[in-house]
Structure 1
Amino acid sequence: MNRRTISKEKFIENVELHPMRQQEDTDIAIVGGGICGLATALALHRSEELRCLKRSVLIETLVQELPASISYFGCQVVTIKSDPLTAFPILHFRDGNSIKAKFVIGCDGANSVVSKFLGLKPAQYLSSCSILGFTNYPHGHGLESESIRMRRGSISVGRIPVDDKVVYWFVGRKWTPQDSDISKDPEMIRESALESTGNFPEEVVEMIRKCDIGSLILTRLKYHAPWDILFGRFTTGTVTVAGDAMHLWAPFLGQGASAAIEDAIVLARCLAQHLTRNKVQAPLQTYVKQRRMRLVKLSTQTYLTGMLLEPSSVIVHYLCLMLLMVFFHDMLGHTRYNCGPL
């Protein structure tokens, strides 16, 4: 598979490139080809600071930076089992092939097969959904480089420029049963966004009307509760998770991709430090220990922010607001976190 045109299919990180066999041995297997999977593969080779709001550009950049020694297998992992002799994990693919690895890193998203193997609780649904999109202004949008959020009743709208011509925006509203069908049709998604924002300023309506129709996504919001992250068993033997497979939260803080890249850096650092001492399970245990409280804080701040948008009693809203003010009075403090060098 051409590594410049790789899709978000499952892929395997291997030290050496060689043909697929019925059961193939490898040192480190990374399940998942999204931001976290690609960043982890890259971080295992070198450190690179990347910041981008457009997911497709970030993924493309990560793919282009990966060395040729990494091999990809575009087939879905369906089960994971432990080898009865070595206790190392064995990945079984949909096409019938399998791989035995010393380490497995699950970066396979919200419906992670690796998370299920570890016995982690599945993500829960909020009653809200988000419509996401980009709008291109060929002659420039003239907006300040800042994040703007507006709210009218139960509808929220946000926008932030990507550059001087492209603006990223979202519309948040309550999820309805019809959204399962709407989410499959970009034109219906746009119409839904326009209907939801009829009471907003004309510039917002115009931004949605002129959006890049191919960029539109409607998704129901899911999350891992803070207490699930606090007590979750994120490693067993030589298997662990990272990114959305480890911590999924609604995009209220805009830290999903950032946290995934942090996971990649910390995990690669732990593996590099411990494997030179021939310690097999220690690197994953250290990785989980270093990441847990950072993730608990992010998930708690996201959870409290989301509860303010959910239909609840005045008392619940007041309590969430007070907790945010007490424990997260610096509302942008999470963006200044430093996970350390690779």
Structure 2
Amino acid sequence: MKHQQVAVIGCGLGGATMTALLQRAGYDAAAFEQAPAFGPVGAGIHLSPNLMHVMRFLELDDVLVNCGFRPGAFTSRTFDTAEIRHELPLRESARERYGADYLTIHRGDFHAALISRIAPDSIHYGKQLTDVKESGKKVALAFSDGSRVTADLVIAADGVSSRVRSALFDPTPPNFSGQVAYRSIVKASDLPSEPLDDLTKWWADDRFVIAYYLDSAKEKYYFVAGFPADHWPVETSTLPGSREELRAAFADFHPAVCEILAGATDLRKWPLFERPPCEAWHQGRVVMLGDASHPMRPHMAQGAAMAIEDAVTLARCLAQHGLAHWEDAYQVYFETRIFRTATVQEISGQNTWLRDPMDPDWLFSHNASVAPLRASELELAR
């Protein structure tokens, strides 16, 4: 039976960052991912300045800037008239104001960059977790392929449907939020006219469309179109869509939006699931991060950023306290992160972020790689 100092369950964006940071700090860490292999899954993602600070710590910021797109502004428009409700300057303004870039990029390109910072032989694919059990000073992990691993510590980064969370913390499964979304990448050259902005969110009372470039060459243009739905089949991650449904749902949107939607070739739709935040993020030697502990709707584009901030905070806590004092490290990590993640989760659920004039400095200026770590009650008592 293989033994690890630290086993990370899940090698998505949060898990990959966590594994890379632990290895960088000299720990014997490995990731166990249920997917059979790495692939460019997903589509568009925002890398806001608070996330990019951690990328600089991993020496990935220049790689990502060269690959992704630096939008000139985040522009919010009224869905039918195209009236500008709010325009937040980005590009040079973001770099000057927050000390880091704001990028839009293909999720697969971002994930590949993170994977490149992990020792290749330490990512184990095809490892679907079936059991996690603490025994003495070890945690035993069992996988569906029959393999078993023990670890001194286990970090669960396995997303909104976290098996670790279900096994140890909260068995209540994620539930359908009542909202679904079409998402697709469109060849920019196929659009009949150039988009009004390079990053736009179009707002209606119960629907939205957000669209932006994914690459520095401006060849790929991406959109997400969200609208309400009465139900979604249980345990179904995606369903075929139809051009007729997409057109009907957004028929009253501005012609500039309809042009973009008409260019979609991959007509599939996804549900938005939600799950309450966990009141506790650690039990014994097992601790959670990202959507496993505080899943959130995507309306602030901060789900990955919060997972990555979690990862660098937890890595710093473990480095400060040492693996032998994991209880102290876990507690400081929780106390450092709980207020910020709860705030972001609440605002994300409201779907009002950057719709109207507001100050996003509290979010974008945060640098989790150097921010103060909140002392636990245990430390204060010493």
Say yes or no: TM over 0.5: yes
AA paired with 1:255? Q
- Paired position in structure 2 for 1:292: 338
Q: What is the alpha-carbon distance in structure 1 between the residues aligned to residue 260 and residue 134 of structure 2? A: 52
Determine if contact 1:81/1:91 at 8 Å carries over to the other structure. Answer: yes
Q: Cα offset for 1:144? A: 6.3
Q: Determine whether 1:136 maps to 2:180.
A: no
- 1:24 Cα deviation after fit: 2.1
Quote the offset at 1:53 in angstroms.
3.4
- Quickly say closer, same or farther: Cα 1:122–1:289, change in 2 above 3 A: farther
Distance 2:223 2:348 in 1: 19
Q: Give 2:5's aligned residue.
A: 27
Corresponding position of 1:252: 299
In structure 1, the residue matched to 2:259 is: 206
> TM-score, length-normalised on structure 1?
0.75
Cα deviation for residue 337 of structure 1 reads 2.2
Matched with 2:239 is 184
Residues in 1 aligned to 2:314 and 2:242: alpha-carbon distance in whole angstroms:
38
Give the stretch that moved more between structures: 170-179 or 128-137.
Answer: 170-179
Structure 2, unmatched stretches of 5+, are 25-56, 62-102, 372-382
Query: Deviation digits for residues 38-61 of structure 1, max 9, x if unmatched?
Result: 111112134325555321111122
Cα deviation for residue 211 of structure 1 reads 2.7
Q: Contact (CA 8 Å) 2:198, 2:213: kept in 1 or not?
A: yes
Q: Does 1:159 align with 2:211?
A: yes
- Per-residue deviation, residues 278-317 of structure 1 (Å, max 9, x unmatched): 32322222211211111011112112337x9xxxxxxxxx
Structure 2: which amino acid aligns with 1:70? S
Mapped pair 1:56 → 2:56: no
Structure 1 residue 271, shift from structure 2 partner? 1.6
Q: 260, 263, 274: which one pairs with 2:310?
A: 263
SS in 2 for 1:102: strand
AA aligned opposite 1:200: F
Q: 1:191 to 1:266 in 2, by over 3 A?
A: farther
Q: Structure 1 329/112 Cα, relative in aligned 2: closer, same or farther at 3 Å?
A: same
Residue among 108, 123, 130 paired with 2:158:
108
Displacement of 1:63 in angstroms is 1.6
Structure 1 unmatched runs, 5+: 1-22, 309-323
Inter-partner Cα distance in structure 1 for 2:310 and 2:108:
19
**Which stretch has the larger CA shift, 139-148 or 295-304?**
139-148
SS at match of 2:122: coil
SS, match of residue 96 in structure 1: coil
Whether 2:167 is the aligned partner of 1:117: answer: yes
Other structure's SS at 2:208 match: strand
Give distance in 1, aligned partners of 2:263 and 2:125.
38
Letter in 2 for 1:135: V
- 1:114 touches 1:240 (CA, 8 Å); kept in 2? no
Q: Is the 8 A contact 2:134 2:285 kept in 1?
A: no
Aligned-partner residue type, residue 219 of structure 1 = W
User: Aligned partners of 1:332 and 1:173: how far apart in 2?
Assistant: 29
The equivalent of 1:8 in structure 2 is none
Secondary structure at the residue paired with 1:252? Answer: helix
Q: State the Cα distance separating 1:173 from its structure 2 match.
A: 0.7
Contact persistence 2:237–2:270 (CA under 8 A): no
Say how many residue pairs are matched: 291
8 Å Cα contact 1:91-1:98 kept in structure 2: yes
Which residue of structure 2 lines up, in the alignment, with residue 280 of structure 1?
Answer: 326
Identity of aligned residues (%): 22
* Higher RCO, Cα 8 Å, sep 6+: 2
Residue identity in the other structure for 2:166: K
1:201-260 Cα shifts (integer Å, max 9, x gaps): 2332221222352xx6522222344xx45xx11001110111211211111101111111
d(CA) in 2 for partners of 1:178, 1:303: 19
One-letter identity of the residue aligned with 1:338: N
Which region of structure 1 is more displaced relative to structure 2, 44-53 or 105-114? 44-53
- Residue 69 of structure 2: aligned partner: none
* Distance of aligned partners of 1:89 and 1:182 in 2 relative to their CA distance in 1, 3 Å threshold: closer
- How large is the RMSD of aligned CA atoms in angstroms? 3.0
Contact 1:265 1:341 in 2 (8 A): no
Q: Does the Cα contact within 8 Å between 2:232 and 2:271 map onto a contact in 1?
A: no
* Partners of 2:162 and 2:292 within 8 A in 1: yes
* Matched residue, 1:20: none
